[in-house]
Amino acid sequence: MNYTPEQALRKLISGNQTYLNSRSNPGDISPAIRLETATQGQHPYAVVLTCSDSRVPPEHIFSAGIGELFVVRTAGNVVGDFELGTIEYGTEHLGAPVVLVMGHSQCGAVAAALSGHADGHIQCIVNEIQCGICGVCDENTAIYRNALHSKRIVMESSIIQRLVCSGNLAVICAIYDIRTGKVELLDC
């Protein structure tokens, strides 16, 4: 099925509602869907950019099965060239009508940015998050600002801009609460 941005967003919201009351993922992971997507290709209804945190599994959070979500995960849901290229591919080539940029509560990468220091390449992630949080000290505000910063970077893509202007794509921000399982949309 081809989704409009509005239909895809409603599917994400509905999937999260299902997740809130489920004990397992009702998404289709059957041999039939594996065969279908192997032979017919993938047609995800959303690209989800989120954190690599193991407590943030997008397919479960949105009750999705094989072929439904095109997921990009990095610590702190930061966006660089590779992530942006992946998002462009998911929207332009695979036709996903929604990009959901999703931060989450108790994010370790944001906490590291608030503390100001990390070792090794983690410092690159911390530096990027610090650019987005603009010196705030409150963790929840920092998580919110970091998600919005990642969305701004996604929106700098000429491919994404073209798809949004044509009405074929919506780019939405959200925060996932790891305790409750609820996804709160920030800017619909």
pLDDT at 113: 96
**Domain count of the fold of the chain:** 1
What does the DSSP 8-state code read for residue 42?
-
Q: What's residue 188's pLDDT?
A: 47
pLDDT (0 to 100) of residue 116: 87
The parent domain of residue 61 ranges over: 5-185
* CA–CA dist 2, 4 (Å, integer): 7
Within 10 Å of residue 80's Cβ, how many Cβ atoms? 12
pLDDT at residue 128 in the model: 96
The residue type of 2 is N
Q: Are strands 170-176 and 69-73 parallel, antiparallel or unpaired?
A: unpaired
Q: What pTM was estimated for this model as a whole?
A: 0.96
Query: Residue 180: which CATH number?
Result: 3.40.1050.10
pLDDT at 117: 81
Rounded Cα gap, residues 156 and 154, in angstroms? 5
Which string of DSSP letters, residue by residue, matches 84-149?
Answer: HHHHHIIIIIT---EEEEEEETT-HHHHHHHHT--STTHHHHHHHHHHHHTT---HHHHHHHHHHH
* Burial call 142-179: b when 16+ CB within 10 Å, e when fewer: bbbbbbbbbbebbeebebbeebbeeeebbbbbbbbeee
pLDDT tens for the 188 residues of the chain, in order: 789 999 999 999 999 999 999 999 999 999 999 999 999 999 999 999 999 999 999 999 999 999 999 999 999 999 999 999 999 999 999 999 999 999 999 999 999 999 988 899 999 999 999 999 998 999 999 999 999 999 999 999 999 999 999 999 999 999 999 999 999 999 64
- Compute the distance between CA of residue 143 and CA of residue 139 in angstroms, rounded to an integer: 6
